[in-house]
Amino acid sequence: MPELNLTSAPAHLRHGSNIGQPLTRRDGVLKVTGQATYAADNHPPGMLFAVIAAASIAHGRVTSLDVAAAKRHPGVVDVMTPDHKPPLAIDPEIKTNPFVFRMEALQSSEVRYANQPIAVVIAETLEAATEGAALLAPRYEAQPPLIGLDAGESFVPPVVGVGNPTENHRGDVEAGLVSAETQIDATYETPPQYHNAMEPHAVVAHWDGDKLSVDMPTQGLKLSLARIAELFGIAHDKIHIRSPFLGGGFGSKGLMGGPPVLGIMAAKLVGRPVKLVLRREQMYGPVGHRAPTRQRLRIGADGEGRLTALDHHARTVSSTFDDFYEPAADASHTLYAAPAIRTSHDAVRVNTGTPLFMRAPGEATGSIALESAIDEIAWTCGIDPLAFRLKNYAEVEPITGKPFSSKALRACYDQGAARFGWAKRPLQPRQMRDDAGLLVGWGMGTATFPALMFQAEARAAIRRDGSGVMEIGAHDMGQGAWTALAQIAADAVGLDIGRVAFKAGTSDLPDAGIAGGSAHTATAGAAIHSAGAAVIAKLADLATNDERSPLFGAGNAGVIARDGRLIRRDDESRGESYAEILARAGVAEVEARGTGAPNPAAMEEYAMHAHGAVFAEVKVDPELSQVRVTRMVGAFAAGRIVNPRMVQSQLFGGMIWGLSFALHEEAVTDRRSGRIMNANLGEYHVPVNADVPPLDVITVEEHDPHVNALGIKGVGEIGITGSAGAVANAVWHATGVRVRKFPIRMEELLV
Amino acid sequence: MKPFDYVRPATVSDAVAAAAQSGAVYLAAGTNLLDLMKGGVSRPDRLVDVTHLDGLDGIERLADGSLRIGALVSNADLAHDADFARSYPAVAEALLSGASAQLRNAATVGGNLLQRTRCAYFYDTASRCNKREAGSGCDARGGENRTHAVLGWSDSCIATHPSDFCVPLVALDAIVEIEGRGGRREIALDELHRLPGDTPERESVLEPGDLIVAVRLPPAAREFAPHARYLKVRERTSYAFAVVSAAAALRIENGKIAEARLALGGVAAKPWRARAAEDVLKGVAPTADAFQEAAWRALTDAKPSGDNAFKIELARRIVVRALTLAAAGTPARLSALPASPFASTSGAIHA
């Protein structure tokens, strides 16, 4: 795939000295000593504080704001409202491309959801701005809000997720159901969930004439830059975004939302740098969330426990003003070899902020329903859930019939089950107790996530002193990009990692694509790999064309780059260092660019997915119904593992999120007002340390020659899938009670 | 944040005088108050910081065998006082099941008693709440109320008191020492918190300026030490308020219950002493049937205030379990997961 390949040998010939090493985070010391500068840590001279006033109604109109009272408050400098704001170059309601979502930038007095920004108070101190926002005492003309999955007439959206067809089918599902020996027809519900990154959305904006500098956590530097440029009508090169560290993003910092735009507008309004940080409760609205779903699964199986049909329908919601549809039913496309599959979606509009990608969008919601349903049909057939999954193992992608580019799921099942001790599981539920009399249950789920690639570019250089440079506007959300991408960079230029200056996290660097879709390491890594190959090729040209070089005449394909030296492939004793080559040539530096992009031909031919198998043990108090996960094993096959330590951490995080999905997370919406009643980390429950058992992650060896040059599939999201279902299935196995509404609440288990 | 005066009086009587004016509130650790202020739920004009007052941070054994705990003793210091934990194990267990380690290090005994409800409608200033704004109405009725009160509630308010600490304290007849404008007085903890009735905004019997200076456990409270437990059902293993909780303490003589104490948490606007259930247990053998009977008595007057009927059944079950655990005897060591149904689970390494 790289245009400039150093040799005809496998592209990863040089890999191994850096890639594959379990390095600790290269930014770890900065983080634990407080020296890592997150957006809100910036305080340019003269900076003011901006605080958003948010709507307390979900639908209607703001009729008055007491701007005078806010302005009278000591320290308040200005109040930005729909009537008093700097102009934007384009209406934020206009969608200029599919990755632009409508936002509230005070363009009108209309209120479309609770917690929508309705004004911004700018003050000398955070306290003054906060009180100023309270003093605005908004009055509203409220209308009844649309709330919940039955809010109104449903419709079939044109697409779900990012351009996925709303409906898919292969084979005759109805005939498959009719011919089935056993069937299940079950409906599952998943709640609205919010990303709740530890770091709230924040922006420090500083205008200098028509130049703008922005400190802001973003998962997509270039997309954000383009959006700012079009909203403010300035050239791309007038904007500089710094986003060296994110305190988590999970999809909510991928695309430009309203709040950072308001911060940039505020800075323009007052002519001074402005910082705007969302309060925790303000993150429950304008910056995306995972939409609720109601999913109906109809599954048929023959007398042998082989699937005859799989029908998966998902109802979801979008906002009243924009479109994002959680592609939950698509989770049924890839895992189980049903001869007939149909997936479909419909939706209703509600008064909510627009839903958005949230870690494994579609896969997470769809997986917990699918894996629960597979467990139910296996039980109906009287077959062990793992045996049932193996019986219906998909040798080709069921919905398309394409072969997989690689698929080590069978090894995941085997290794995970062995580590967990699955073979001792009784088929019947409510059979196991521990010494203390607690019910014990074992459940499993299959994990899957597509191996995606976006487009990226990187710039590589070899300097006179023999050191390397790799530049790419990549994003470290906490997942370890500073480390893993630097490892790829080091191998790409044949140097030890300490000899490569790896630069990332700012918008002036080459476009790394978006850090999402579990595709960042693959995408940015492919660009880095390609740029490295290209710069080494240039260096090789200098040497092999120079009679004074021991490499003269070896040809581009005849040299290997290793440890800062080029050496002859046919005689490894002959070679010279990068520094020697550059010195003799009188060149200060050679540089080259490379790109990473999906390979359409391979995508046409192969289905590309990472896979995994998750096994969970829960304990449930038989009378009091409190649930606790006590053990989890996850075995994942995701192609090449660049840094096993970072990957393990990503998979831990995903598995914990799966546990959270099954047992804890839910944004509780008041059924009358549409306001979220638990918009804080005290009451929006995520697992605390005591909820998380020792986790066991196995990364199963998998070589994939098709996904990309490096064979990377990505691990950012797959950990949630499978895990949520495994925990839910374990609760059933412990109690005999099948709960189909998530999170599983104790009252459902009181029997 | 709304501007406010901040005063730091030197003596208790200065503090009482400073806090007696309208709009003044006491500040101790602020683990609840500061959150309320940031959210605009509480907007005081004056904070009277009592954290520097002398003599309020001691734990002392009195001549009559009672124990006096200063109002400024931190929850963590109290729970980890070895003599205290041995003498009043259910109280230590309750303390350690509350909040998080960081909060317990800060939160005080007096502040714990006076913490506000966690009703979401009380915190959401756009909702009607009779407790926050008298006479405005109660949006928790008909709202998201699966964790609300099942005992002692009224049409005006269905909020619960969230304290764990108060539940065993009220079971053990704790006494609250109060310094007020009229000097010092004391009341039973059971009389400190008011049920909502028509005036849910009045949460306690304290008058303006009243300062809790100590909590006292009477001599008899120690006699329950061999058979005293606190049990708490919650929606995650740690750092969550009780859905329901129970403190059970028994004095067992010759195989019979000489005296029983029982209180419930998370069910009402106050820690709920179940005296009728205690009466059932007096003089009988500690059997499952007796505990079932006690549980039914304890919840006789319970009724759902919304989508929370399950809490009544759950409360009955937790009463039976807490009594069963208490009868089995106080364990020599406190579990790593205090008050949790998973306390005895192996592999529990932290709370």
pLDDT, one tens digit per residue, over B34-58 is 999 999 999 999 999 999 999 999 9
Q: Which of A57, A664, A750 has its CB closest to that of B314? A: A750
Query: Considering only CB atoms, which chain A residues are within 8 Å of B107?
Result: none
Mean pLDDT across A149-176: 97
Task: State pLDDT tens for residues A617-629.
Answer: 999 999 999 999 9
Average pLDDT of chain A is 96
CATH number assigned to the domain comprising residue B264: 3.30.390.50
Per-residue confidence (pLDDT) for residue A16, from 0 to 100? 54
Confidence class of residue B1 from pLDDT cuts 50, 70 and 90? confident
Query: Considering only CB atoms, which chain B residues are within 8 Å of A619?
Result: 342, 345
- Written as six digits, the tokens of B175 are 């006494």
State whether residue A474 is helix, strand or coil: coil
Q: CB within 8 A of A129, min separation 6: which ones?
A: A48, A49, A50, A51, A75, A76, A121, A122, A123
**Residue B350 pLDDT more than 60?**
no
Query: Considering only CB atoms, which chain A residues are within 8 Å of B321?
Result: 623-624
- Nearest Cα of chain B lies from the Cα of A590 at a distance, in angstroms, of 54
**Most A-contacting residue of B37, B239, B344 (CB-CB within 10 A), to test interface:** B239
Per-residue confidence (pLDDT) for residue A11, from 0 to 100? 39
Task: State pLDDT tens for residues A560-606.
Answer: 999 999 999 999 999 999 999 999 999 999 999 999 999 999 999 99
Which residue on chain B is closest to A751 by alpha carbon?
B313
Task: State pLDDT tens for residues A375-391.
Answer: 999 999 999 999 999 99
Nearest to B164 by CA among B237, B109, B124: B109
Yes or no, beta carbons of B120 and A677 under 8 Å apart: yes
Asked whether residue B63 is assigned to any structural domain, the reply reads no
Per-residue confidence (pLDDT) for residue A751, from 0 to 100? 85
Yes or no, beta carbons of B143 and A671 under 8 Å apart: yes
Most confident of A5-14, A328-337, A551-560: A328-337
**Most B-contacting residue of A628, A663, A664, A749 (CB-CB within 10 A), to test interface:** A628
Percent of chain B with pLDDT over 70: 98
**Residue A250 pLDDT more than 60?**
yes
Asked whether residue B177 is assigned to any structural domain, the reply reads no
Q: Report whether A379 contacts A299 (CB < 8 A).
A: no
Phi, psi of A722 (to 5 degrees): 80, -50
Asked whether residue B26 is assigned to any structural domain, the reply reads yes
Percent of chain A with pLDDT over 90: 96
Asked whether residue B280 is assigned to any structural domain, the reply reads yes
Per-residue confidence (pLDDT) for residue A12, from 0 to 100? 39
Query: Considering only CB atoms, which chain B residues are within 8 Å of A688?
Result: 100, 236-239
Per-residue confidence (pLDDT) for residue B345, from 0 to 100? 62
Task: State pLDDT tens for residues B107-125.
Answer: 999 999 999 999 999 999 9
- β-strand partners of A141: A61
Mean pLDDT across A461-482: 97
Which residue on chain A is closest to B41 by alpha carbon?
A134
Task: State pLDDT tens for residues A92-130.
Answer: 999 988 889 999 999 999 999 999 999 999 999 999 999
Q: How far is CA B338 from CA B226, B328, B345, in A?
A: 17, 16, 11
**Residue A4 pLDDT more than 60?**
no
Task: State pLDDT tens for residues B234-273.
Answer: 999 999 999 999 999 999 999 999 999 999 999 999 999 9
- Nearest Cα of chain A lies from the Cα of B82 at a distance, in angstroms, of 24
Per-residue confidence (pLDDT) for residue A540, from 0 to 100? 95
B22 part of contact set with chain A, CB < 8 Å? no
Q: What is the DSSP letter of A741?
A: B
B331 part of contact set with chain A, CB < 8 Å? no
Asked whether residue B85 is assigned to any structural domain, the reply reads no
Asked whether residue B48 is assigned to any structural domain, the reply reads yes
Mean pLDDT across A188-198: 98
CA B98 to chain centre: 10
Mean pLDDT across B199-211: 97
Yes or no, beta carbons of B342 and A628 under 8 Å apart: yes
Domain count, chain B: 2
Mean pLDDT across A714-735: 98
- Nearest Cα of chain A lies from the Cα of B151 at a distance, in angstroms, of 18
Confidence class of residue B147 from pLDDT cuts 50, 70 and 90? very high
Q: Please state, in angstroms and rounded to a whole number, the distance separating the CA atoms of residues B347 and B336.
A: 10
Query: Considering only CB atoms, which chain B residues are within 8 Å of A621?
Result: 233, 341-342
Confidence class of residue A143 from pLDDT cuts 50, 70 and 90? very high
Which residue on chain A is closest to B126 by alpha carbon?
A56
Specify the residue for token string 């967990």: A420
Yes or no, beta carbons of B120 and A683 under 8 Å apart: yes
Mean pLDDT across A423-434: 97
Yes or no, beta carbons of A624 and B139 under 8 Å apart: no
Asked whether residue B169 is assigned to any structural domain, the reply reads no
Q: Which of A134, A677, A688 has its CB closest to that of B237? A: A688
Would the CA dihedral through A69, A72, A74, A77 be positive or negative? positive
CATH number assigned to the domain comprising residue B15: 3.30.43.10
Q: Please state, in angstroms and rounded to a whole number, the distance separating the CA atoms of residues A321 and A258.
A: 14
Q: Report whether B106 contacts B34 (CB < 8 A).
A: no
Query: What Rg value do the Cα atoms of chain B yield, rounded?
Result: 20
Query: Considering only CB atoms, which chain B residues are within 8 Å of A685?
Result: 235-236, 240
Per-residue confidence (pLDDT) for residue A18, from 0 to 100? 86
Q: Which of A670, A688, A745 has its CB closest to that of B143? A: A670
Q: Pick the more confident residue, A9 or A474.
A: A474
Q: Which of B120, B236, B341 has its CB closest to that of A664? A: B236
**Residue A259 pLDDT more than 90?**
yes
Query: Considering only CB atoms, which chain A residues are within 8 Å of B126?
Result: 56-57, 673, 675
Phi, psi of B16 (to 5 degrees): -60, -45
Question: Which domains are assigned to chain A?
Answer: 39-144+196-283 (3.30.365.10), 146-192+289-381 (3.30.365.10), 402-452+598-751 (3.30.365.10), 455-597 (3.30.365.10)
Asked whether residue B79 is assigned to any structural domain, the reply reads no
Mean pLDDT across A323-339: 98
Edge to edge, the sheet with strand B24-27 lists B5-7, B46-49, B24-27
Domain that holds residue B318: 221-328
Per-residue confidence (pLDDT) for residue A54, from 0 to 100? 98
Average pLDDT of chain B is 96
Task: State pLDDT tens for residues A513-561.
Answer: 999 999 999 999 999 999 999 999 999 999 999 999 999 999 878 999 9
